[in-house]
Amino acid sequence: MTEQPLGVSRECLKAFEEASAEAERVAVAQCLEADRPEDTMGPEAEAMLRSGMQFVTRMLRASLQFAAEGVLTDQVQWGRERLPHYGAHVEMVQRNLRRYADALQSIMPGTTYKELAPYVDTLIAGEWSTPPS
């Protein structure tokens, strides 16, 4: 069986795996403190945010493992279409992705984060504007 090419080094993937749960926790905590998501997302805001950050981690992991940034582009498209229905507005999503990226950067060794950065940047800089109705 042929091994799939990685989008990043094994060291980067390992560092990401070790840092992602803490980065998710930090991003959710910062959002709850700063954005008051319960005002737009309701009483389930914290659970929805946790689930969302876990989804970001899974999509990012898939992109890193298979050198497939297109997975992230698809995630942005899905997010801009579906997340407003859950009360998560585009600006909050982008702030949370930045918080997640900042947490990863502070937790991961610098050289491994540099490998990861283009993938995270794809998420943050994606076409987040609301699609036409």
pLDDT tier at 6 (50, 70, 90 boundaries)?
low
pLDDT tier at 22 (50, 70, 90 boundaries)?
very high
Residue pair 55/106 in contact by the 8 Å Cβ criterion:
no
pTM of the predicted model as reported, rounded to 2 decimal places: 0.82
Specify the pLDDT at position 130.
52
Tell me the helices (H) and strands (E) count for the chain, helix number first: 6, 0
Residue 130 belongs to some domain of the structure: no
Radius of gyration from C-alpha coordinates of the chain: 15
Residue 39 belongs to some domain of the structure: yes
Angle of helix 45-66 relative to helix 70-82, nearest 10 degrees, comes to 160
63/105: higher pLDDT: 105
Residue 85 belongs to some domain of the structure: yes
Total domains in the chain come to 1
Query: For the segment 91-119, what is each residue's pLDDT rounded down to a tens digit?
Result: 888 888 999 999 999 999 989 999 999 88
Q: Average per-residue pLDDT in the chain?
A: 83
Residue 131 belongs to some domain of the structure: no
Which range of residues forms the domain containing residue 37?
A: 10-124
